Chain A
Amino acid sequence: MPEISIKAETLFYIGSFAVKNSMLLSALVFVFLICVGISYFNDSQKEEKSGLFYTINLMLRTLYDLFSSIVHDKIDVFFPLLSAFFLWILIQNWSGLLPGVGSIMVGHIPLLRGNNADLNATLALAIISVTMIQVYGFQFLGFKVYISKFLNFKDPIYFVLGILEIISEVSKVVSFAFRLFGNIFAGEVLLTIVAFLVPVLASFPFLILEIFVGFVQALVFSMLTSVFLSLAVSQH
């Protein structure tokens, strides 16, 4: 059986800071995205624009239409957050499927590991998402109105409902984190096991499935964030 580790493994230490293999791939993707962003910005200043500019524009336009069907007139405030979630998760998911990720070994541990196959990364994304939902709720409804959703002493029934609201906010973090982690990690395990059972060609359809799953999970994460955002900023 191939060895499968459920947590990311430590490659080396900088001081007391452990650098994990998932962190290394995530840093590479981060640099790649920064480069794409800079070239997109440079193109937007020029008269003659390249094909990359129009491709990214088309993608952003589609995302803009998709999210504006959910959050309507507040799209200009939320669009940077939502599209950043979508593109970051999508590129991270797909970069975990590249050849060499998980198969180049240093000693006994793989050099690279998909970032979303590490629970810490998805938990960080989930915490950012839920925190931003609360921040926008306070910003759009005002402190007093939004806090009355959680703490309400007017009526015992509303008080109990407020406690349930707090629990549901916490469970949002857990479900966001585990949904993304579970899907991506299960995909990695599936690909490893299939490649172990049938070494030639059999993993090809599963790769296509994983490309689709990566896309759907990125879509689901950003769509859910946008739905929760539009619920949080609407007046009851």
Chain B
Amino acid sequence: MNIEAAKMFAIAFTMALGAIGPALSIGKIASKAVEALGRNPEAESSIRTAMILGLAFAEAIAIYALVVALILKFT
């Protein structure tokens, strides 16, 4: 395997492995938020705020992987 191919594999696997954790956690956060909404529909706005905050945290992990992948790709 030459250097160029190794770099391409590194980019692909950074993104692929980096997206697994956030994907699972985003699913979990959204399902729990919907559960909470079903139990307590009056608290919709505060649940939504907390959910979006949690989603942003989980998404940030994927974004770190994306930044690393972009740095590998474009520098």
Binding site for B on A (CB under 8 A): 4-6, 175, 178-179, 181-183, 185-186, 189, 216-217, 219-220, 223
Q: Name the distance in Å between A194's Cβ and chain B's nearest Cβ.
A: 15
Closest-by-CB residue of A relative to B67 is: A182
Task: Tell me if B40 counts as interface (CB < 8 A to partner A).
Answer: no
Cα distance A6–B64 when bound, in Å? Answer: 14
Known: A216-B52, A220-B53, A223-B53. A183 touches B70 (CB 8 A): no
Q: With A and B bound together, what is the CA distance between A128 and B74 in angstroms? A: 29
How many residues of chain B have a CB within 8 Å of chain A? 14
Would you call B43 an interface residue if the criterion is a C-beta within 8 Å of the partner chain's C-beta atoms? Answer: no
Residues of A within 8 A of B47 (CB): none
Given A216-B52, A217-B56, A220-B56, check contact A178 B70 (CB 8 Å): no
A182 pairs with B66, CB closer than 8 A? yes
* CA distance in complex: A182, B71 (Å): 11
**Contact between A182 and B60, CB atoms less than 8 A apart:** yes
15 contacts between A and B (CB under 8 A): A4-B70, A6-B71, A178-B64, A179-B60, A181-B67, A182-B63, A182-B66, A185-B67, A186-B66, A186-B70, A189-B70, A219-B53, A220-B52, A220-B56, A223-B53
Q: Which of B52, B64, B74, B75 contacts A182 (CB 8 A)?
A: B64
10 closest cross-chain pairs (CB), A and B: A182-B63, A220-B56, A182-B67, A179-B60, A6-B74, A186-B66, A4-B74, A183-B63, A216-B56, A216-B52
Q: Which of B7-66 contact A (CB under 8 A)?
A: 52-53, 56-57, 59-60, 63-64, 66
B75 contacts which chain A residues (CB < 8 A)? 6
- Which among A4, A6, A178 is the interface contact of B63 at CB below 8 angstroms? A178
Least CB distance from B60 to A in Å reads: 5
Within 8 Å by CB of A185, from B52, B56, B60, B70, lies: B70
- Whole-angstrom distance between the alpha carbons of A186 and B63 in the complex? 8
